[in-house]
Structures are given as C-alpha cells and as structure tokens.
Amino acid sequence: MKFLISATIIGLIAGLLGALCGVGGGLVMVPAFVTLLGTEHKSAVATSMAVIIVTALAATANNSRIANLIDWRVVAAVGLASAVAAWFGSDLMRTMSNHTLTRIFGCVLILFGVRMLWKG
C-alpha cells in the first residue's frame, strides 16, 4: 500500500510539473523513484522514459485542442533527432554503473539549476 501511495504521489507531482513546466519526467521521477521507491538508477531511468510516453500523450492531446500551440515542425525535427539519440543513449546507459549514472544525473541537475537561477 505504501508503494502505491508513493507511486501515485510521484505521478501526480510529475504530471503536474510536466504539464506546467515541461519538467516532470526525468527531473522529478528519476530522483523520486530512486529515493522514495528504492529503485536502482538504471531502472528508474528506463521506467521514467516509459511513464513519460503516457504523460506526454495526455498533455499533447489536451494542448493540441488549441490551434498553433504546438509547433509540429519542431516536433518532427527534434523528435526524430531525439529518438535516434535516445536509442543510442539507452544502450550507453545500460553499460554504465548505477553509481556513475547517479553522479552524472546529479551534476546535470546542479549545472542546469545554477544556470536557471543565474539567468532567472
């Protein structure tokens, strides 16, 4: 029951932040899966990517009701490039240790966080 409650809370927060700010997936779910659910980093990343599909589909369906809100040219170009990079990135992720992935993730969060605060 504790798992279900924790997972539901993570989903609610990640979904809301994802729809509001575009930061619900990896930024919220990966650390939450690792710290609150006890998931290993590799599994947290892979699970987060799968959950993002559902979240992104729901938000995209809702956002597409407003004309010209989504720039489909950007979706096509960035989506294709991202899909190719994600395929190879997931291969690379599986070769790395959980410890190394956690450190890389932490550094990325710090760098982007500092940049956002500095520019903010």
**What does the pLDDT look like over 17-36, one tens digit per residue?**
888 887 777 888 999 999 99
pTM (two decimals): 0.84
Which among 40, 11, 51, 25 has a CA at the least distance from the CA of 102?
40
Sequence-distant (6+) residues with CB within 8 A of 10 are: 28, 29, 32, 33, 36, 37
Instruction: Give the pLDDT confidence of 48-95 residue by residue, as tens digits.
Output: 999 999 999 999 999 999 999 999 999 999 999 999 999 999 999 999
- Read off the amino acid at residue 92: L
**Domain residue ranges in the chain:** 2-119
Which among 105, 109, 71, 106 has a CA at the least distance from the CA of 89?
105
